[in-house]
A = this chain, B = another copy of it.
Amino acid sequence: MKKNINIAIIGLGNIGSYLYRYLKKNKISLTKKNNTIPNILYVSAKNRNIKRSITIPKKMWLKNYIDSTTNKDIDVIIELIGGAEGPAKKLVFAALRNGKHVVTANKALIAKYGDQLAKIAEKNNVNLEFEAAVCGGVPIVRSVKESLIANTITKIYGIFNGTSNYILSCMEKDDLSFNDALLKAQKLGYAETNPLSDLNGEDVSSKLKILSSLSFNTFINNNVYVEGINNIDQIDIKNANKLGYKIKLLGISEINNKKLIQRVHPCLVKNTSYIGGINGVLNAVIVNGDPVGENIIQGEGAGPGATTSAIVSDICSILRGNIKYPFSISSNERMKIKSSSISSHIFSSYLRLDVSDKPGVLSDITKILSKNNVSIKRLIQNPFKSKKYSSIIIVTHKVKNAGLMSSISQLSRKKFLIATPKLIRIEF
């Protein structure tokens, strides 16, 4: 006689509904694979009467979502509410405290409260699983925790946000402005109605914090330099292309001199590089580890299918009875790590300065750069059609971020500048 594991799905949006249907349809095959029966016992959602693609028997509805945490029949709670605070937080804390296994797709919650939640899970000997919180179809959490467990990881980076990658690809390929590309993404369901956290880098920042702590066996560190794609103009993408680059929003975390540097920002990457070839809604995560070398996983970053694949891998791990530390090692063994800011980090970079076409402008610009120890590798001046203004594109040699930032700030004050200077760091 096979054992039943009883599941409650809390949150029935796109993903919750897809998951519900998937688990019903694949009950037999999942039972075969795990020798345990995954049984959806209860569901809950903010709005019970909304029109859904699934029909749920009346008896399966919980009166109150929080009852799932005290119901003795429930073994596993799937949290698909979202958000770092409010009901999601209340649910997951209560569930773990009451000895329920938790599977969540909530990157904001894990990035903010993951350390506290892990301690409670470990104390109560239950699983806290969050594969779906980081790059849905890219099983990077399980990969770092299990497949690459042998490795000392020194760097983990990649494209972690399908929405912004789609928009950047679209601006390049379909020759669209940022706003038009965003509209297209929303039309196709690749961007939410409120896409703020996707575009301002916050979504990538949450994922990066989680990946850093898994990779380096450290507590979550909130020191992340974050810049989104909101300021990328189409002209920058065209300029980058002419220089042999593409623009990608990367999340990058690495250990340098025993200090952690976490950063999220648009980067110029060589168009022949691997990462330059990751287009549309794809995500890719690259891990540098010893002894494995460089390891890459690529897949769809979001969407109900990819996210369900991740959630189900977590459920199956629970069905098989594999209790694991949520962050790979015990909270007693996780370390605090010192972090360093981006300011002493060295970058080569792309600068675009739109200026009035007057004598002395170039001399003023080069003087400011030189004062800040920014040396120029390449300079192209393109007159505007009106010929009154010019766009000056500069590629710098490698120089400290602080020097770049003070150059930008000094240049910004110059009257000959007709727009805020644009700085994009060159990564590969």
Contact = CB atoms under 8 A, between A and B. Distances in A.
Interface string A144-174: 0011111100000000000000000000000
Contacts of A148: 139, 309, 313
Given A139-B143, A142-B146, A306 B293 contact: yes
B149 A146 contact: no
Interface stretch (A182-190, A316-324, A410-418): A316-324
Given A297-B295, A299-B295, A306-B293, A147 B142 contact: yes
Nearest to A34: B149
A54 to B, nearest CB: 15
Interface stretch (A45-53, A284-292, A392-400): A284-292
Listed residue (A149, A303, A324, A325) with the most chain B CB atoms within 10 angstroms of its CB: A149
A75 interface: no
Contacts of A333: 32
A305 B317 CA distance: 28
Contact of A149 (B138, B277, B292, B316): B316
A312 B150 contact: yes
A56 B217 CA distance: 31
A306 B294 contact: no
A142 B138 CA distance: 14
Contacts of A296: 296-299
Contact of A32 (B297, B303, B330): B330
A330 B299 CA distance: 28
Contacts of A290: 305
Nearest to A286: B298
Interface residues of A, number: 53
Given A22-B291, A149-B313, A306-B292, A320 B324 contact: yes
Interface in A331-384: 333
A389 B292 CA distance: 50
A346 to B, nearest CB: 28
A428 interface: no
Nearest to A23: B150
A304 B291 CA distance: 8
A316 B150 contact: yes
A60 to B, nearest CB: 21
A75 B109 CA distance: 40
Contacts of A274: 277
Nearest to A147: B139
Question: Which among A143, A147, A298, A312 has the highest number of chain B CB atoms within 10 Å?
Answer: A147
A150 B292 contact: no
B146 A316 contact: yes
Contacts of A26: 150
B322 A305 contact: no
Interface in A28-71: 30, 32-33, 35
B147 A313 contact: yes
19 contacts: A22-B150, A33-B325, A137-B292, A139-B143, A142-B146, A143-B147, A146-B146, A148-B309, A149-B316, A150-B308, A150-B309, A150-B311, A150-B312, A277-B277, A291-B306, A291-B308, A291-B309, A294-B300, A296-B298
Interface of A: 18, 22, 26, 30, 32-33, 35, 131, 137-139, 142-143, 146-151, 217, 274, 277, 289-300, 303-306, 308-309, 311-313, 316-317, 320, 322, 324-325, 328-330, 333
